[in-house]
Amino acid sequence: MHLDDRLQALADFVPEGSRVADIGTDHGYLSIALVQAGKADFVVASDKNAGPFEAANRTVREAGLMDKISVRLGDGLATVKPGEVDTVCIAGMGGVLMTDILNASQDVVAKLTTLILQPQSAAAELRRWLYHSHWHIVDESLAIADGRIYEIIKAERGKRKMPEEILLEIGPVLWEKKPPLLRHHIESLLFQQRRVAIGMEKSKRALSSKKYQKVKDRIKELEARLSW
């Protein structure tokens, strides 16, 4: 099973011999690739929508992996029993929704050792949640697919000191590793913050607000991180 760079980055973070829940599995490509590569001994491929669930069922059946991959229909981690898996992969949704999914199934999360997350938005909020919830980030990577840059986060259980605010935005391990796409990533964050600032500058009330000053400060901090 050939994966695009985004899904391959998730697969690369899965520990060998894991039992995995692939939440929002879509067509089941990640689940199949993990089993075929020997990364996962067993996968729960779960999706809350009937179309992707049926597509994943079909793909898994055609791959002859029905004994290794259990395709399930349901919301978030509700399809997984506590202790059934040790690793959860969630991709293709916002960071806030990811925290909602994890908060909603704390009995399942309590038995996990590894989280592999690819937020489409609100990555800083997701990182903050991880550290508040006694997880910490052990690795991060960046990938480009369909012209868009994606952040992939690997977290393990264990309480650690909260990274500084700007590193919650950029990614503490990304800043430490400085991968080739890091400057592109920071420029993308800068574009978002500048767009917010331009929108606020149309209102005199917004211009005098603490939020506007916070946005301007964040722009300066990001600009300072473009050189190393």
pLDDT tens digits, 144-189: 998 899 999 999 999 999 999 999 999 999 999 999 999 999 999 9
Per-residue CA distances from 179 to 16, 104, 130, 143, 160 (Å): 24, 34, 22, 10, 23
User: Quick check: 176 and 226 in contact, CB under 8 A?
Assistant: no
- For the chain, the structural domain boundaries read 5-173, 184-224
What's the pLDDT tens digit per position in 190-217? 999 999 999 999 998 999 999 999 999 9
5-173: CATH, from 2.40.110.10, 3.30.565.10, 3.30.300.30, 3.40.50.150: 3.40.50.150
pLDDT by residue (tens digit) across 15-50? 999 999 999 999 999 999 999 999 999 999 999 999
